[in-house]
Amino acid sequence: MNKILFVLLLLISTNFAAVHMENDILNNNIKILHELDLDSSYITNVKFQKFYKSFHKRYKRTYIKKLQKAELFLPIIKNILIKNNIPETFLYLAMAESNFELKARSPKKAMGIWQFIPSTAAIYDLKIDYYTDERMDVEKSSKAAIAYLTRLHKLFDKWYLAALAYNCGEARVIEGITRATLDMYCEDNNCKKDKTIRSYRKTIKDYQERKIKFYKLYKVYKKIKKWKYKPDINELLITQKNLRRQYLPQESRDYIKKIISLAMMANEIELNKEEHSHLLNTGISTSLTKVYVKGGILLKNIADVIGLSKKEMQSLNPHIIKNIIPPEEKKYGIYIPYSLLSKFNKNIKNIKANVFEMHIVKKGDNLGKIARIYGTRYKNIKKYNNLKTNNLRIGQNLIIPIDPDTYKRPKNYYVKSGDSLIRIARKFSVPLKRIMKVNKLKSSMIHIGDKLVITFK
C-alpha cells in the first residue's frame, strides 16, 4: 500500500512540476512580448504560432551550438544592454542578424554581429580602414547598435517598431504605419470623396515611385500620428491581397517573428537542462577583457607573450584585419581571455617591437606604389619617416613598418640545371607572370646561372 501511495505521490508531484514549468515558460514568453511593447495576446496569434512551430523545427538543432560558440562574448553584449536600459530580448536581434558570428557578412556588404552597412557604421563612429573594421569589434559594434536602437525607439516609442526599423529602415516603417493608419481610418469613414485622404495617398504613391523626397511623406506621418487610429503588430504584419508592396517587406515581417521565436526558444525545457544552464544564466561577468597596446605592434607578438596561437588571437579580434595594431594609434583596445590578464600585464614589456624594412627610392617610385609593395599605407610611411610632403628623391632611404606574416623580402635565385620558369614558380608558390614581369623576361627561355628576383607580392 505504501508503495502504491508513493507512486501516486510521485506522479502527482511530477505532473505538478511539469505544469509549473510550463507556466514559468508561458510567463517568460509573455515577458518577452512585454519587453518589445507587444500585447501578450500576440502569443496566440495563429500566424505567429505557425511561424514559431516551423522555425523551431528548423533551428532547434543548431540553436545551442550558436549560443555555445558565442559564449565568450555574450556577457559583453548583455552588459551593454543592461547599462543602457535596453530589453535583454534584443540579444536575440543580434542572433537573428548574424547567428552571433563576429565575421558575418551579407550580400549587401553588412558586417559583424549587428550587420552594419558601411554608411550606417560611419554615422556611429565605427572605423573601417586598411587596418581595422570595427563592425567586427563586439564591444564597439554593440554600443553602436544600442545607440541606433535607442534613437529608433525615441522615434517610434515602441521597441518592436525599433526592431522592424533596424531591419528595413525607419522610412519603410513610417510608410507602413502611414498606409495602415489611413486604411484603418477609411474602414470607419467614407474616404472616396475625401480630398485630404486622396492627397495623402498620392504623396505615398509619389514617394514609392521616387518622385518626391522622404520629408513630404514624413509630414503626412506626423499628421496622421495624432489620430486615434494606431495600427499594432497585427495590422502591420497582415498580408494584403493583390498588392505587390505590403505595409512591410516579407523579410521584416518574418524578422520580428524570428526575434521573438529565438527569445522564446531560450525558455524551452530542453535549454533548461543542467548542462546548458550556464548558457541561459550567463551574466555580466565576462570571460574576455579588453587591454590596450601601442599602435604598430603585431597581433601575433601579443599572442606569443600570453601563450595564445595567432589563430586564437585573431578569432577574438577579427576587427584587426591586417594582423597589426593600427600604427597611427597611440593606444588601441584588443580582447584577450580574462584568465590571461595577469600574464599579459607581467609580460607587456616583452612584446616584440615592430618589424621594419629599409627601402631605397628608385626612379618611378612614389609613396602609394611603395606602400602597395610592402602591404601598408602611404600615411604610415610618411609618419615613420617624418615626411612633410609626398615628394621623394632617388636614393632616399625609407623605413617601412611591415607584417612579416604577409610580406616576404624579395629573394635572389640562380637558375640551376633542370630548372624551368614553371618549376621555379611552383617552388616559391608565386605566379609565373610575376616572375617574368619583375625580371623583364619576354619569353620563358632561361639559362643556367641566370639571376632571377623572386617577389612574393
361 and 329 within one domain: no
- Chain segment 269-311, per-residue pLDDT in tens: 555 555 555 565 555 556 899 999 988 888 888 999 999 998 9
Residue 11 lies in a domain: no
Residue 45 lies in a domain: no
230 and 204 within one domain: yes
Residues 6+ apart with CB under 8 A from 124: 116, 144, 147, 148
Instruction: Report the CATH number at residue 363.
Output: 3.10.350.10
Per-residue pLDDT of the chain (457 residues; tens, 9 = 90+): 455 544 444 344 434 344 444 777 788 899 999 999 999 999 999 999 999 999 999 998 889 888 888 888 899 999 999 999 999 999 999 999 999 999 999 998 999 999 999 999 999 999 998 789 999 999 999 999 999 999 999 999 999 999 999 999 999 999 999 999 999 999 999 998 899 999 999 999 999 999 999 999 999 999 999 999 999 999 999 999 889 999 999 999 999 999 999 999 988 755 555 555 556 555 555 689 999 998 888 888 899 999 999 899 999 999 998 888 887 788 999 999 999 999 999 998 888 776 777 788 899 899 988 888 888 888 888 877 878 888 999 988 887 877 766 677 778 889 898 889 899 888 888 888 888 888 988 888 888 988 888 887 6
User: For 132, what's the count of Cα atoms within 13 Å in the CB-facing half-sphere?
Assistant: 23
236 and 111 within one domain: yes
The grid coordinates listed for 417 are 640545371
Residue 1 lies in a domain: no
Confidence (pLDDT) at 281: 56
Helix (H) or strand (E) holding 259: helix 250-265
DSSP-assigned states of every residue in 315-329: HH-TTBTTSB--TT-
Which residues are known to be catalytic?
A: 97
- Domain of 161? 74-256
Last residue in a domain, options 204, 233, 256: 256
List 452's β-bridge partners, or say none: 413
Residue 181 lies in a domain: yes
Q: What angle do CA 253, 257, 258 make, to 5 degrees?
A: 110
393 and 435 within one domain: no
306 and 217 within one domain: no
The grid coordinates listed for 446 are 632561361
432 and 418 within one domain: yes
Residue 374 lies in a domain: yes
248 and 387 within one domain: no
CB 199 within 8 A of CB 191: no
